[in-house]
Chain A
Amino acid sequence: MASTAIHDTAVLHHHDDHGHDHGHHKETFITKYIFSQDHKMIAKQFLITGIIMAVIAMILSILFRLQLAWPEKSFPLLETFLGSKWAEGGRIKPDFYLALVTIHGTMMVFFVLTAGLSGTFSNLLIPLQLGARDMASPFLNMLSYWFFFTACCIMMASFFVESGPASAGWTVYPPLSALPKAIAGSGTGMTLWLISMVAFIASSLIGALNYISTVLNMRTTGMDMWKMPLTIWAFFLTAIVGVLSFPVLVSAVVLLIFDRSFGTSFYLSDIVVAGQILPNQGGSPVLWQHLFWFLGHPEVYIVIMPALGITSEVIATNSRKPIFGYHAMVYSLIGITVLSFIVWGHHMFVTGMNPFLGGVFMITTLIIAVPSAVKTFNYLATIWRGNLRFTPAMLFAIGLVSFFISGGLTGIFLGNAALDINLHDTYFVVAHFHLVMGAAAIFGMLCGVYHWYPKMFGRLMDERLGYIHFWLTFIGAYLVFFPMHFMGIDGVPRRYYAFTEFAFMQEWLTVNVFITWAAIIAALAQVAFLWNFFYSIWYGKKSSQNPWESNTLEWTAPVEHLHGNWPGEIPSVYRWPYDYSKPGHHEDFIPQTTPFSETMSSNLQHDFEDNPEAELIQQEWERQHAVKSPASEEIK
Chain B
Amino acid sequence: MDQIPVEDMQSSKARKFLMWLFIISSFMMFAALTSGFIVYTEGNAERGIKVLLPKAFIYSTIIIIVSSITMHLAYISGKKLNFAAQKLYTLVTIVLGIAFFFSQYSAWAVLTEAGAYFVNYNASQSFIYVFTGAHLLHIFAGIIMLIYSLVGKMRNIPQVRNLFRLEVTSIFWHFIDILWIYLYVFLLLNQ
A interface, CB within 8 angstroms of B:
3, 6-7, 10-11, 13-14, 17, 133, 136-137, 140, 205, 208-210, 212-214, 216-218, 243-248, 250-252, 254-255, 258, 262-266, 279-284, 286-287, 290-291, 294
Which residues of B lie under 8 Å from residue A213 when comparing CB positions? 14-15, 17-18, 21
How long is the Cα–Cα vector from A57 to B97 in the complex, in angstroms? 47
Provide 11 A-B residue pairs closer than 8 Å at the C-beta atoms, listed in order of the A residue. A136-B15, A137-B14, A208-B21, A212-B21, A218-B14, A244-B25, A252-B36, A262-B119, A264-B126, A279-B121, A291-B36
How long is the Cα–Cα vector from A140 to B21 in the complex, in angstroms? 14
Which residues of B lie under 8 Å from residue A247 when comparing CB positions? 25-26, 28-29, 32
A136 & B18 in contact (Cβ 8 Å cutoff): yes
Query: Among the listed A17, A208, A245, A287, which residue makes an inter-chain contact with B40, where contact means beta carbons less than 8 Å apart?
Result: A287
Chain B residue with the shortest CB-CB distance to A246: B25
A10 & B7 in contact (Cβ 8 Å cutoff): yes
B29 & A248 in contact (Cβ 8 Å cutoff): yes
- Quote the shortest CB–CB distance from B119 to chain A (angstroms): 4
Which residues of B lie under 8 Å from residue A243 when comparing CB positions? 21, 24-25, 28
How long is the Cα–Cα vector from A460 to B36 in the complex, in angstroms? 51
Chain B residue with the shortest CB-CB distance to A216: B17
Chain B residue with the shortest CB-CB distance to A212: B21
Chain A residue with the shortest CB-CB distance to B4: A10
Chain B residue with the shortest CB-CB distance to A248: B32
Query: Among the listed A133, A137, A282, A294, which residue makes an inter-chain contact with B15, where contact means beta carbons less than 8 Å apart?
Result: A137
How long is the Cα–Cα vector from A467 to B60 in the complex, in angstroms? 66
How long is the Cα–Cα vector from A214 to B28 in the complex, in angstroms? 21
Query: Among the listed B22, B26, B32, B118, which residue makes an inter-chain contact with A262, where contact means beta carbons less than 8 Å apart?
Result: B118
- The total of interchain contacts (Cβ-Cβ below 8 angstroms) comes to 123
A218-B11, A247-B32, A264-B123 known; A6 and B21 CB under 8 Å? no
How long is the Cα–Cα vector from A216 to B18 in the complex, in angstroms? 11
Dominant SS among interface residues on chain B:
helix
Q: Is B8 an interface residue (CB 8 A)?
A: yes
- Quote the shortest CB–CB distance from B26 to chain A (angstroms): 7
- Quote the shortest CB–CB distance from B123 to chain A (angstroms): 5
A14-B7, A251-B33, A258-B126 known; A217 and B17 CB under 8 Å? yes
Which residues of A lie under 8 Å from residue B39 when comparing CB positions? 284, 286-287, 290
A210-B18, A287-B36 known; A205 and B7 CB under 8 Å? no
Chain A residue with the shortest CB-CB distance to B20: A213
Which residues of A lie under 8 Å from residue B130 when comparing CB positions? 254-255, 258
B interface, CB within 8 angstroms of A:
5-8, 10-11, 13-15, 17-18, 21-22, 24-26, 28-29, 31-33, 36, 39-40, 43-44, 46-47, 118-123, 126, 130, 134
B121 & A281 in contact (Cβ 8 Å cutoff): yes
Given contacts A245-B28, A265-B126, A284-B39, 12 further A-B contacts (CB under 8 A): A136-B14, A208-B21, A209-B25, A214-B14, A247-B29, A254-B134, A264-B120, A264-B126, A286-B43, A287-B43, A290-B39, A291-B32
B14 & A217 in contact (Cβ 8 Å cutoff): yes
Which residues of A lie under 8 Å from residue B6 when comparing CB positions? 3, 6-7, 10-11, 14
A263 & B25 in contact (Cβ 8 Å cutoff): no
How long is the Cα–Cα vector from A6 to B7 in the complex, in angstroms? 10
5 shortest interchain CB distances as A-B pairs: A136-B14, A247-B29, A217-B14, A10-B6, A248-B32
B123 & A283 in contact (Cβ 8 Å cutoff): yes
- Quote the shortest CB–CB distance from A130 to chain B (angstroms): 12
B32 & A251 in contact (Cβ 8 Å cutoff): yes
B5 & A250 in contact (Cβ 8 Å cutoff): no
Residue among B11, B13, B130 with most chain A CB within 10 A: B11
B18 & A282 in contact (Cβ 8 Å cutoff): no
A209 & B121 in contact (Cβ 8 Å cutoff): no
